[in-house]
Each structure stands twice: as C-alpha cells, then as structure tokens.
Amino acid sequence: MRSLSEIETVSKRSSRAAGYSWGIAEEVAKNIRLLEIFNLPGVKNLNSFFKKKKKLSLDMISAVNQDNVANRDGYCPIIAGVNVLDQIKTLEKLNQVNFKKVLYPLLFLPFISRATAVIGKRIFLKIDDKEFLLNFNNNIYSNYSKNEIIESANNVYLKVIENRDSFNDDEWNELYKLSEETFVEENESLKQGGAGAGLTDND
C-alpha cells in the first residue's frame, strides 16, 4: 500500500511535469491526498487526466462568475478549482456557482472541500447526478462511491449552505428540557453555599 506521503509527493511532481506551476502542484498534491483519505479515486483520475491532457483543449478560467460556460473541451479541473478556492470569499455571496462542462470533475472536488474550511460553511456540490455534501473539509457525505474515472461532467454546481440548525425550536426545547433532568433543584442552603462567588457583587 502506498502511504499518503508517497501519494502527495508523486502527485506534486507529476503535476509539475504536466505543466502546472510548483504552487499549483502543491495544491494538487494536498488534494489527491485528501481524495484518497476519503476513499475517492484521486490517483486514478489524476493519472488519467495527465495522460490525456495534451490532447484536450482546456478552458483555463481565471475570474469565476455565477455562470461559467466552457467554450472548448471543458474546464481544466485544477485551474478552475484553484480559482474557486482563491475566490471563495467572493463566490460565497453568489449562493450558487454553475459550471458547464468540467473535465475530470473529481479533481475539482477537493478544492471545494478545502473552500468549506476557509468560509466555515458547508457546500453542496453536484457533479451531474452525483451529490456531495462537503463538511468543513472534515468529511464528505455522498451518494457516490465508485472507484472509477470520471472524464467529464456537463453540469457542475456548488451551493453554499448557510450555517443553520438542522432542527426546529420545538425539537430543541424538548431535548433541552430532558437535559435539565440532570440538574439539582437548589434549596436556600445550596444557594448560599454551592457557588463560589458571594451573594452580592458589592462586598
């Protein structure tokens, strides 16, 4: 079994060899490590992308907008991902960002996962019919778990999920009330002696 350290090193060097700057190669290395930690096929997709890259006509996006439509074979997942990560604080205000055709979209995913940690919000990512809930770069919840190469996706969108409770006030209050059953009702004596501070603030 390859260690994550080996995966990171080889991903970095191969990304540089594939024509990316050292700084971007560093990003890719972290991303492939991340995908492999989450048991997603990072090495497999990166290898396939680099083998085909020279034959592809890639759209290299720089400024990311709400709607982004590729004119050539599709967006480079690495350049698109780097720019989403870099621009996420602006993009989060857009609520939803759409891409028409992203090549090797699994390589785009870890950038978005890392972006969730930057903004402190979850992001819902949809790659055609595959759904991913990216949780603060700690885990990925998904309906997809195949060990396969995804060469492209026609529709990719990401939606920032505002930090909200997943329950209503009634549910909270009911649970809170139950939690109160671990408390001791204070009589006068406990009120006087149970706390460290004095009873008045003017002593």
Partner 1 sequence: MNVELRDPNVVMKLSRLGSFHQSKLSFLRSFLNEFKEWDYKRDLFELDEHGYGIAVYSFKKKNRVYSLICFANELDENERSDRVIATKWDAAFTLHDGIPTKQDIERLRNEVPKQEFGRLSFKELTLSRANKSVRVFNHVVENLSEGKQPDRNLLNSVGYLYRTTAVYGSGKFGLADRFRIKDREEIYGPFRLEMMLVYLVRQFTFDQVNHVAKIKNPKKAVKLDENICKSLGIGNSTGLGMAPFIVNHPTLLNNWISAREIALKKIREIKKISKKNQNIFLECLKKSIKNITSWNTESEYQINKIKSLLKDLNEFIIYLDNNFNFEQDYAFNELYLHLEKKYCEECIEYVVSMMMEPYDDIVLPLIKEMSSEEEKYFNIPTERTVEDLKLILEKKYPDILTIDFTKDENNLNFWFISKNKEEPRLANRFDEMGAELEQPLAIARDIKRLHDLLLKVNNNWTIAKFLSTNNELRHIVRRAFIVEKFPYSEIQDNTIGKTIVPIDMLRLKLSFFGALKFDPRSDKWLRICMFQGAPLPDQLKNYDEHWVYN
Provide the binding-site residues for partner 1, judged by CB under 8 A.
1-6, 13, 21-24, 26-27, 30, 62-63, 82-83, 85-87, 89-90, 114, 117-118
Dihedral (CA of 117, 106, 128, 51) sign: positive
Contact assessment for residue 104 and residue 93, using Cβ atoms and an 8 Å cutoff: no
CB of 15 to partner 1, least distance (A): 12
Comparison of 30 and 52: residue with beta carbon closer to partner 1: 30
Q: Nearer to partner 1 by C-beta: 27 or 48?
A: 27
Q: How far is the CB of 77 from partner 1 (least distance, A)?
A: 15
> By the 8 A CB rule, do 92 and 121 touch?
yes
Q: Which one, 14 or 48, has the nearer CB to partner 1?
A: 14
Closest CB to partner 1 among residues 22, 167: 22
CB of 4 to partner 1, least distance (A): 5
Question: Nearest distance from residue 123's CB to partner 1, in Å?
Answer: 15
Contact 46, 14 (CB under 8 A): yes
